[in-house]
Amino acid sequence: MTRVKICGMTNLEDAQVAVEAGADLVGFIFYEPSPRYVSPETVREIVARLSLAAPEASEAFPLFVGVFVNESVERVRQIVDYCRLDAVQLHGDESPEVVAQFNGLAYKALRPKSPDEADSLIEEFTLSPHLQSPIANHLPALLLDAYHPSLYGGTGHVTDWGMAAKVARRYSIMLAGSLTPANVVEAIRAVEPWGVDVSSGVELSKGKKDHEKVRAFVEAVKG
């Protein structure tokens, strides 16, 4: 079954809808230039409220993921501990050595400009010891997003599905890049990814989710 990550959460109501719809991962962006930035204080409250409502020992309860861009390892760890997050998505220019410092709790987002660059980046990051950690079994090896020269995600561009499909044959990847309820089934058929990641494709406005689109996206993937 293809996993679903609903990202860019900024408030409790949207996060509750994603959880109730059946999202496998819920993402919070801690990159201040992003219009979907959310403070650690807000995320701590959201996670606490949702965790209180979680069924005892439920394996279906989603993972809470913090998204960081070129942040120090120390700061990321502080926020993860403070907010009680389950995993880390490194979406900037972090090295394989930085990813490895999280001992299997982090995965890297890549934004290759071309198939050749994709090959070199993927080889570089998949040699990292973090992929061999048992802790990493519930996370993708990598996330593939659309390239933009200055934006770290939220580009409005679709990732090269042909390139992504070649990578997905070898590694468990999370596919991102302008996915919507209307195109996600086609994307899954073309790429066969481990999971799919959506943010702007299920929004009313930047930072605010359209609840019907969230439900429709999850249903399209899992139905």
Residue numbers annotated as active site: 7, 145
* Length in residues, the chain: 223
Long-range contact set of residues 176-183: C-beta below 8 Å, sequence gap at least 24:
176/7, 176/109, 176/143, 176/144, 176/145, 176/146, 177/144, 177/145, 177/146, 178/146, 179/217, 180/213, 180/217, 181/213, 181/216, 181/217, 181/220, 183/158
Q: How far is Cα 6 from Cα 195, in angstroms, rounded to an integer?
A: 11
SS3 201: helix
CA-based end-to-end distance of the chain: 10
Element housing 142 (H / E): strand 142-144
The answer to whether 21 touches 214, Cβ cutoff 8 Å, is yes
Residues 6+ apart with CB under 8 A from 216: 181, 202
For the chain, give me the number of helices (H) and strands (E)?
8, 10
Q: How far is Cα 96 from Cα 82, in angstroms, rounded to an integer?
A: 25
